[in-house]
Chains A and B, each alone.
Chain A
């Protein structure tokens, strides 16, 4: 019913954003916008898992890191061209996420949150604590997973050769395209049969389960499928910054992205993107108060959950509905 409306909104927005480089050509703005596309993809997928699937996954940044690391390692060890490495890395992320899902999703609510957090922490520790040299290039010892320093110089998409100094504009458009695909995927899930199944599981679990809707099965599907774009975002992040390191696991980033979803509105179609935009703008203004940034993030996260748990978009929708109901039709 509304899938057409959502796709139209998306298309309109995408066209507007596509014109941005013509208006503001500043490199800083465009790279920040590219970062916005990346975080946008991640929060859209996280929102599917959290808001639609009801899976409290804290492993999203770890999956993002899997995509990034897989890309870097494919390029570094096998000299694979990035055009191939990126989709392959996304598929690897799907495999990893399926395994994590199989292990975690038989559990419910808080158990899932803790286990996924622990999985992320273990991956991080395994990478950081790894000091054995896997190879010994001229730059020094290189552990299998890059250790504390991570990977650099694993190849790129060749935009520098093609477009010269304007390579970042190409990255901008690639990011935009990926975000559009991720958004279309997210809309299809929310408005499609899978979204309906989850709606049924939420509204009347007994009836849904009696009619053969298995929560575990659907949760595993949504968890695995959404990992494709999460991994792809990680992969693109690695290519865009030409570096991957254990900072991809940082709690601050996790906090930042979770805040985006909460501020925008958990479970809404466009909320996460709105949240990503608002938080990146807020972050930009808070940059001057650098030291207070994390405190500010904490206040925003806690404040929104306590005072406006449905987020900006969710609350607006609620308001509109109430106004409509108040006016007798």
Chain B
């Protein structure tokens, strides 16, 4: 019984963490058809900015987190104006932006490496202590992550469903030209989406690094998992991505317990391939009918 609770607790934490790193990606893909390969680097950047703000500038943790979100949001904005916007009209936009963001990710990661060095560093934003129920031990940091994830998802759902910006984002994602004809300035919406996704990446990076540690290339693994989650859910489907993240977190916790850390990722991947052969556009993805 206790084992199950423990697996559930760590699975939910992992799922929540995946969800935070996934929603930014899903949002950007859903609106622009852009796979942002620099998302992992943004995660690392967020983690390091928070660390820098707290340890070197002595800022309050909340301020550190806000600083990280601001910097990553600005970098997201920069990525839009420098890379995405100039090629938006190109026929090969998806391929080009994919390659361009691989390059941008490498730049960001190596700038971090230059500035902070290759050694693992502890993330100062970390709640000590743990919640003990019987023999089950749940670190407070995990609870914090769960809370942050829930809060973020509620905020995002509110933003998408209830606000003018949210309606513009959804409209642009569903039909870019129609949105333009409604008076939506899609360029501005895109820029806002990338800024938002940068901010989300920052939070995700702080959370991920608080469980392991800061490394310049720490974003690679969560990004790959986030991509897998996006693919399983159907690229661009934000709500599906959250559901898939939590399911995958639980599955991974379970696989880790049963089979060990070594094979959990491989099994996850086999599962994903199986899902995609069964449903090539993801579990919740729309099959896009291409009119020739």
A–B proximity contact (CB within 8 A) = yes
Residues of B within 8 A of A (CB): 29, 35, 82-83, 86-87, 90, 92, 94-107, 109-111, 113-114, 217, 220, 224, 227-228, 230-231, 235, 261-262, 265-266, 269, 272-273, 276-277, 280, 292
Nearest A residue to B220 via CB reads: A251
Cβ-based interface call for A288 (8 A): no
Chain B residue nearest in CB terms to A295? B110
Distance, CA A206 to CA B289, complexed state (A): 13
B266/A125 in contact, CB under 8 A? yes
Instruction: Please determine whether B98 and A110 come into contact, CB atoms closer than 8 angstroms.
Output: yes
* Nearest-CB residue, chain A, relative to B261: A129
- In the complex, the answer to whether B107 meets A110 with C-beta atoms within 8 Å is no
Q: Which residue from A126, A255, A306 sits with its C-beta under 8 Å from B87?
A: A306
Excluding A111-B280, A300-B103, 14 further A-B contacts by CB distance (< 8 Å) are: A104-B273, A110-B29, A111-B235, A114-B230, A118-B228, A122-B266, A125-B265, A251-B106, A255-B102, A295-B111, A295-B114, A298-B105, A301-B103, A301-B106
C-alpha spacing A316/B182, complex, angstroms: 41
Per the CB 8 Å criterion, the residue count for chain A at the interface is 42
Do B100 and A294 have beta carbons less than 8 Å apart?
no
Q: Which of B95, B231, B261 contacts A56 (CB 8 A)?
A: B95
B107 touching A309 by the CB < 8 A rule?
Answer: no
Q: CA A259 – CA B106 in complex, angstroms? A: 12
A119 at the interface (CB under 8 A from B): yes
A306→B111 contact, CB < 8 A = no
CA distance A259 to B99 in the complex (A): 9
A306:B262 contact, CB within 8 angstroms = no
Task: Report A-chain residues with C-beta under 8 Å of the C-beta of B220.
Answer: 251
Q: Which residues of B contact A205 (CB under 8 A)?
A: 292
Asked if A156 is at the interface (CB within 8 A of a chain B CB), the reply is no
What's the nearest-Cβ distance from chain B to residue A125, in Å? 6
Q: How far is the CA of A44 from the CA of B95 in the complex (A)?
A: 18
B104 nearest in chain A by CB position: A302
Also in contact, A115 and B110, with CB within 8 A (given A129-B262, A301-B100, A305-B103): no
A242-258, CB < 8 A from B: 251, 255, 258
A111→B103 contact, CB < 8 A:
no
Q: Which residue numbers of A lie inside 8 Å of B, CB to CB?
A: 56, 103-104, 106-111, 113-115, 117-119, 121-122, 125-126, 129-130, 205-206, 251, 255, 258-259, 262, 291-292, 294-295, 297-303, 305-306, 309
- Tell me whether B111 and A115 are in contact (CB under 8 A): no
A118 close to B269 (CB less than 8 A): yes
- Which residues of the partner chain B approach A262 to less than 8 Å between Cβ atoms? 99
- B102 and A258 contact, CB distance less than 8 A: yes
Most buried by A among B87, B95, B269: B95
**Bound: A119/B273 CA distance, A:** 10
CB distance from B232 to the nearest CB of A (A): 10
Contact residues in B for A297 (Cβ distance below 8 Å):
103, 106
Task: Determine whether the beta carbon of A298 is less than 8 Å from that of B35.
Answer: no
Determine the distance from Cα of A258 to Cα of B105 in the docked complex, in whole angstroms: 14
Max chain A CB contacts within 10 Å: which of B109, B235, B261, B269?
A: B269
**Could you show 10 A-B contacts with beta carbons less than 8 Å apart?**
A106-B277, A110-B98, A111-B276, A118-B224, A118-B227, A251-B220, A294-B109, A302-B102, A305-B99, A309-B87
